[in-house]
């Protein structure tokens, strides 16, 4: 049985204290909606010895295929900027940015209009290059600060929040609305009518697919999240969670089969493309042989599993899967 309450409007929410705003975010159950689902209030509570001077709203989609954040920026730009102001107030900072890839000019325009006249807020158009939406890439592009290996954004005085999270924070601060719904991209060659849906958390994936006209016959796999970092769902009767940014329905033509991979031929393409400057070839070789401590020596835990290395590998090596196995076997 569903029970609903009337939401109360508090137009003066920016006059609340930092502690009161944090309490609203906490009791609304807001988490990072880019996929990680890390509690937002924790990210907004850095230790005293790590002061923050910059907040960045990540308007660069974390994965190809996903367009939910783009849609939200077109439809709710003013609310997203208000969410950014809440973050800035809580962290006591005067510099806020929204980073958007330059292949989304309509979103850049909408967000720039919404930010007009707002002190300390700037909307940045960034080169469209995967994985621009990764936190460390975004920070480098906007602030020219480099997050060192094994460090976090707060170590360079930055907090990054996702577009959807910013919108949810605005709704929590102004109306006290809990995080009960989110935008989910339903896409891929296997879906009949791709689109972005605003859905309640807990809705079954099968309902989303049905709403988008169903799956085509040649569908092979359904991915929760994006095609690079998401995971195949074992059944369509699993629910949308707060971190579900997309459902990708893939056909044979879109899938590389992991069982077809060959030995590393030392071509170096994965090293050239890795945005973290890692040696994915060595990580995958060590992991394949079960030498997980050896993989750690190659900065295993700096890999954020963007999948770029596997995408360019001519031997079709399942580098990310091997890295995930290694990470599960050793401590950071």
- From the CB of 305, what's the least distance to ligand SF4, in Å? 5
Of the ranges 175-183, 207-215, 219-227, 302-310, which one interacts with ligand SF4 (CB under 6 A)? Answer: 302-310
Cβ-based neighbours of 302, under 8 Å, separated by 6 or more: 149, 150, 276, 278
Neighbours of 321 (CB within 10 A): 15
- Here's the x/- map for ligand SF4, 212-251, by CB under 6 A: it reads as ----------------------------------------
Of 55, 284, 286, 288, the residue at the interface with ligand SF4 (CB under 6 A) is 284
Of 307, 318, 322, 326, the residue at the interface with ligand SF4 (CB under 6 A) is 307
- From the CB of 300, what's the least distance to ligand SF4, in Å? 9
- From the CB of 140, what's the least distance to ligand SF4, in Å? 14
Torsion angle of C-alpha atoms 244, 62, 85, 107, degrees rounded to 10: -110
Q: Check binding of 132 to ligand SF4 (CB under 6 A).
A: no
CB closer to ligand SF4, 55 vs 264: 264
Q: Check binding of 183 to ligand SF4 (CB under 6 A).
A: no
Q: Which residues pair with 112 in a beta bridge?
A: none
CB closer to ligand SF4, 34 vs 77: 34
Backbone phi and psi for residue 319, each to the nearest 5 degrees, phi listed first: -60, -45
Q: Check binding of 295 to ligand SF4 (CB under 6 A).
A: no
- From the CB of 270, what's the least distance to ligand SF4, in Å? 3
Q: In what order do the strands lie in the sheet with 246-251?
A: 195-200, 181-187, 246-251, 219-224, 231-232
Q: Check binding of 305 to ligand SF4 (CB under 6 A).
A: yes
Contact 89, 14 (CB under 8 A): yes
CA dist., res. 306 & res. 226, Å (int): 10
- From the CB of 281, what's the least distance to ligand SF4, in Å? 4
The secondary structure of 143-165 as a DSSP string is H---PPTT--GGGGTEEEEEHHH
- From the CB of 67, what's the least distance to ligand SF4, in Å? 22
CB closer to ligand SF4, 97 vs 261: 261
Report CA 277 to chain centroid distance, whole Å: 21
Query: With CB under 6 A, what is the number of residues at the site for ligand SF4?
Result: 27
Q: Check binding of 137 to ligand SF4 (CB under 6 A).
A: no
Residues 231, 233, 237, 238: is their CA dihedral positive or negative? negative
Q: Check binding of 67 to ligand SF4 (CB under 6 A).
A: no
Neighbours of 220 (CB within 10 A): 16
Q: What is the DSSP letter of 330?
A: S
Of 203, 204, 304, 329, the residue at the interface with ligand SF4 (CB under 6 A) is 304
Q: Which residue, 97, 108, 35, 28, is CA-closest to 65? A: 35
Backbone phi and psi for residue 230, each to the nearest 5 degrees, phi listed first: -80, -175
CB closer to ligand SF4, 77 vs 133: 133
- From the CB of 314, what's the least distance to ligand SF4, in Å? 6
Judged by the rule CB under 6 A, the positions of this chain that interact with ligand SF4 are 264-270, 274, 276, 278, 280-281, 284, 303-309, 312-315, 317, 319-320
């Amino acid at each position: 049985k569903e029970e609903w309450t009337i939401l109360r409007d508090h137009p003066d929410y920016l006059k609340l204290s930092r502690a009161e705003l944090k309490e609203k975010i906490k009791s609304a159950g807001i988490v990072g909606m880019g996929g990680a689902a890390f509690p937002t209030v924790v990210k907004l509570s850095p230790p005293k010895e790590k002061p923050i001077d910059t907040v960045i709203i990540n308007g660069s989609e974390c994965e190809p295929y996903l367009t939910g954040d783009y849609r939200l920026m077109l439809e709710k730009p003013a609310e997203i900027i208000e969410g950014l102001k809440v973050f800035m107030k809580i962290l006591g900072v005067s510099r806020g940015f929204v980073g958007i890839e330059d292949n989304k000019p309509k979103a850049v325009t909408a967000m720039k209009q919404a930010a007009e006249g707002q002190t300390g807020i700037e909307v940045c158009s960034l080169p469209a290059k995967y994985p621009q939406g990764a936190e460390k890439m975004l920070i480098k592009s906007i602030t020219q600060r480099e997050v060192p290996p094994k460090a976090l954004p707060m170590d360079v005085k930055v907090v990054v929040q996702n577009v959807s999270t910013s919108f949810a924070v605005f709704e929590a601060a102004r109306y006290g609305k809990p995080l009960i719904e989110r935008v989910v991209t339903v896409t891929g060659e296997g879906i009949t009518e791709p689109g972005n849906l605003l859905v309640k958390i807990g809705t079954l994936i099968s309902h989303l697919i049905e709403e988008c006209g169903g799956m085509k016959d040649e569908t092979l796999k359904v991915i929760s999240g994006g095609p690079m970092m998401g995971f195949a769902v074992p059944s369509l009767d699993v629910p949308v969670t707060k971190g579900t940014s997309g459902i990708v329905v893939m056909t044979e033509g879109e899938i590389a089969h992991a069982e077809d991979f060959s030995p590393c031929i030392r071509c170096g393409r994965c090293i050239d493309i890795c945005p973290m400057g890692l040696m994915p070839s060595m990580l995958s070789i060590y992991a394949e042989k079960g030498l997980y401590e050896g993989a750690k020596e190659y900065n295993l835990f700096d890999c954020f599993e963007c999948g770029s290395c596997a995408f360019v590998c001519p031997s079709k090596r399942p580098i990310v899967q091997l890295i995930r196995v290694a990470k599960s076997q050793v401590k950071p």
